[in-house]
């Protein structure tokens, strides 16, 4: 169900199904491999050399991860029983399992701690490449706003990853899933701050990692609504040696990917900032980045909402009606101004992630002045249906259908929908 498209393509073909084919590139080749082997893919833009993710026999050069056998993970998930499945995507499926809190060894259901086990589709080129990327980045990084990778398995042409379990699933589900409890304004800002901290951590000079797939389905929430970035299958080392960008095949999620990346394959550190702006806009409006069920002219959220972000009166009309006006207008106005900066067409004109983080933290200090009868009305795109799934093929497209299954948590390839 993935859709390949070339430069300048304006077509949007949303798919609500969580399934997708492996990512494709602008030249029509698979972005996951070359000649059946994992692709190194660091283009001519001067990217730093990427260290090998694996050694022979699947041994990973990462000391902090537990190496599981396939039998152990079958035990932890009750042989990947269907009722333990949390979601699925192009990479494969994600299951809920249980392990001992101290040893991380498999345990019985309800004993120890829950984990999310991501299991690739057999013989998947995309699965291998993204598995390596996950291990390479999440395996060596530790941060409160990155989902913790606990272990891995490579056996019988299957690639598995074991993550901490995020109780509240994805931000996408909370914003768009039918029947979901509306997130209050302060919780939305808390999530935005946490996600910004995660990306800012990746962008720091000593790490210099471009996340490349910032979207609401990749932001997972713990019991206290602390945000953590998941799905590092597309993460890439940033430019080195004074270069401004790396050049790579275009792959990601349509609607969130920066325009310069879509048009040229040039990936900047600030390409992530564009994606943050899109997600912050989703949080303001309660609308998904792309939704073909909306009327013509309203399907692309950025294009439709951009003019209203510059006008305080118009801004109030596009704010999420489920907030019922319970937000400081000054804070919403400043958030809109930040979104416009993040969505600048020229990556050099966008703020750094550190600047974005400081701005969101400042916005969070603005408190609402209580006034009765200030409920915000909505003239947002009709059919405020909460849909998900962004399919990732040189960028995945969103469409609607049924809501994601289970908790909808996306433990890496966006569990529900590699969507992404």
Model pLDDT for residues 328-341, shown as the tens digit of each residue: 999 999 999 999 99
pLDDT score for 206: 79
* Residue pair 397/356 in contact by the 8 Å Cβ criterion: no
Question: Angle, to 10 degrees, between the axis of helix 271-285 and the axis of helix 329-342?
Answer: 150
Q: Is residue 357 part of a domain?
A: no
| Distance from C-alpha of 189 to C-alpha of 195, rounded to nearest angstrom | 10
Domain interval for residue 126: 56-164
Residue 216 pLDDT > 90: yes
Set 213, 231, 291, 320: catalytic member? 213
Residue 122 pLDDT > 90: no
pLDDT score for 414: 37
Better pLDDT: 365 or 240? 365
Mean pLDDT throughout 31-56?
A: 36
pLDDT > 90 in the chain, percent: 58
pLDDT band at 388 (very low <50, low <70, confident <90, very high): very low
pLDDT score for 391: 45
Residue 14 pLDDT > 60: no
Mean pLDDT throughout 183-206?
A: 96
Q: Sort strands 66-67 and 236-237 into parallel, antiparallel or unpaired.
A: unpaired
pLDDT band at 63 (very low <50, low <70, confident <90, very high): low
pLDDT > 70 in the chain, percent: 71
Kindly state the tokens that stand for 162.
């074991």
Task: Write the CATH number for 143.
Answer: 3.30.200.20
Mean pLDDT throughout 317-331?
A: 97
* Residue pair 22/125 in contact by the 8 Å Cβ criterion: yes
Q: Which range (12-16, 219-223, 347-351, 411-415) has the least confidence? A: 12-16
Mean pLDDT throughout 50-54?
A: 39
Q: Specify which of 34-48, 153-167, 362-376 reaches the highest per-range mean pLDDT.
A: 153-167
* Residue pair 281/338 in contact by the 8 Å Cβ criterion: no
pLDDT score for 71: 95
Q: Is residue 135 part of a domain?
A: yes
Q: Is residue 383 part of a domain?
A: no
pLDDT score for 309: 98
Q: Is residue 375 part of a domain?
A: no
| Distance from C-alpha of 197 to C-alpha of 119, rounded to nearest angstrom | 28
Q: Is residue 381 part of a domain?
A: no
User: Is 213 an annotated catalytic residue?
Assistant: yes
Better pLDDT: 222 or 418? 222
Q: Specify which of 91-105, 128-142, 260-274 reaches the highest per-range mean pLDDT.
A: 260-274
Q: Specify which of 44-53, 321-330, 372-381 reaches the highest per-range mean pLDDT.
A: 321-330
| pTM of the full structure | 0.76
Q: Sort strands 236-237 and 92-99 into parallel, antiparallel or unpaired.
A: unpaired
pLDDT score for 252: 86
Better pLDDT: 345 or 393? 345
CA 11 to chain centre: 22
pLDDT score for 62: 56
pLDDT band at 411 (very low <50, low <70, confident <90, very high): very low
Of 85, 86, 77, whose CA–CA distance to 407 is shortest?
A: 86
Better pLDDT: 53 or 71? 71
Mean pLDDT throughout 43-64?
A: 41
Better pLDDT: 28 or 246? 246
| Distance from C-alpha of 73 to C-alpha of 102, rounded to nearest angstrom | 16
pLDDT score for 66: 92
Provide the domain count of the chain: 1
Q: Which helix (H) or strand (E) holds 236?
A: strand 236-237
pLDDT score for 371: 54
Mean pLDDT throughout 376-391?
A: 45
Question: pLDDT averaged over the chain?
Answer: 78
Q: Is residue 127 part of a domain?
A: yes
- Which residue ranges make up the annotated binding site for ATP? 119
- Which residue ranges make up the annotated binding site? 119
Asked whether the CA dihedral 379, 368, 283, 95 is positive or negative, the reply is negative
Cβ contacts of residue 141 below 8 Å, gap of 6+? 201, 202, 207
Give the CA-trace dihedral at 273, 275, 277, 279, to 10 degrees. -140
* Residue 81, number of CB atoms within 10 A of its CB: 12
| Distance from C-alpha of 130 to C-alpha of 414, rounded to nearest angstrom | 11
Residue 192 pLDDT > 70: yes
Kindly state the tokens that stand for 28.
């029509």
Q: Which range (52-61, 97-106, 130-139) has the least confidence? A: 52-61
Residue 9 pLDDT > 90: no
Cβ contacts of residue 371 below 8 Å, gap of 6+? none
What letter does residue 290 receive in the DSSP assignment?
Answer: B
pLDDT score for 409: 36
pLDDT band at 16 (very low <50, low <70, confident <90, very high): very low
Mean pLDDT throughout 217-243?
A: 93
Q: What share of the chain is helix, strand, coil (3-state, %, to 5)?
A: 30, 15, 55
């Amino acid at each position: 169900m993935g859709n390949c498209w070339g430069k300048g393509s304006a077509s949007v073909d949303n798919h609500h199904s969580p399934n997708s084919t492996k990512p494709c590139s602008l030249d029509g080749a698979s972005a996951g491999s070359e000649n059946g082997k994992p692709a190194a893919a660091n283009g001519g833009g001067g990217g730093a050399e990427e260290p090998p993710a694996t050694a022979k026999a699947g041994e990973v050069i990462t000391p902090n991860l537990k190496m599981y056998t396939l039998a152990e993970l079958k035990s932890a998930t009750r042989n990947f029983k269907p009722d333990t499945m949390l979601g699925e995507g192009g990479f494969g499926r994600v299951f809920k399992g249980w392990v001992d809190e101290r040893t991380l060894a498999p345990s019985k259901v309800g004993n120890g701690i829950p984990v999310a086990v991501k299991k690739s589709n057999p013989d998947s080129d995309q699965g291998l490449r993204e598995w390596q990327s996950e291990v390479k980045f999440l395996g060596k990084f530790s941060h409160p706003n990155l989902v913790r990778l606990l272990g891995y398995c490579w056996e019988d042409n299957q690639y598995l990853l074991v993550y901490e379990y995020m109780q509240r699933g994805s931000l996408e589900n909370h914003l768009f899933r039918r029947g979901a409890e509306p997130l209050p304004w302060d919780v939305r800002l808390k999530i935005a701050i946490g996600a910004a901290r995660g990306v800012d951590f990746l962008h720091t000079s000593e790490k210099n990692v471009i996340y490349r797939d910032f979207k609401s389905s990749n932001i997972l929430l713990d019991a206290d609504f602390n945000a953590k970035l998941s799905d590092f299958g597309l993460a890439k080392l940033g430019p080195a040696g004074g270069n401004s960008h790396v050049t790579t095949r275009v792959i990601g999620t349509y609607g969130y990917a920066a325009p310069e990346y879509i048009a040229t394959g040039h990936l900047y550190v600030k390409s992530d900032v564009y994606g943050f702006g899109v997600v912050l806009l989703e949080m303001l409006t309660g609308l998904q980045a792309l939704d073909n069920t909306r009327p013509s002219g309203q399907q692309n959220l950025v294009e439709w909402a951009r003019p209203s972000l510059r006008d305080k009166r118009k801004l109030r009309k596009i704010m999420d009606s489920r907030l019922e006006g319970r937000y400081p207008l000054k804070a919403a106005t400043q958030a809109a101004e930040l979104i416009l900066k993040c969505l600048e067409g020229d990556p050099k004109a966008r703020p750094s992630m550190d600047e974005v983080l400081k701005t969101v933290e400042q916005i969070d200090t603005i408190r609402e002045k209580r006034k009765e009868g200030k409920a915000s009305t909505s003239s947002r795109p009709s059919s405020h249906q909460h849909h998900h799934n962004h399919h990732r093929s040189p960028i995945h497209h969103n469409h609607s259908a049924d809501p994601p299954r289970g908790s909808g948590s996306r433990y890496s390839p966006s569990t529900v929908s590699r969507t992404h």
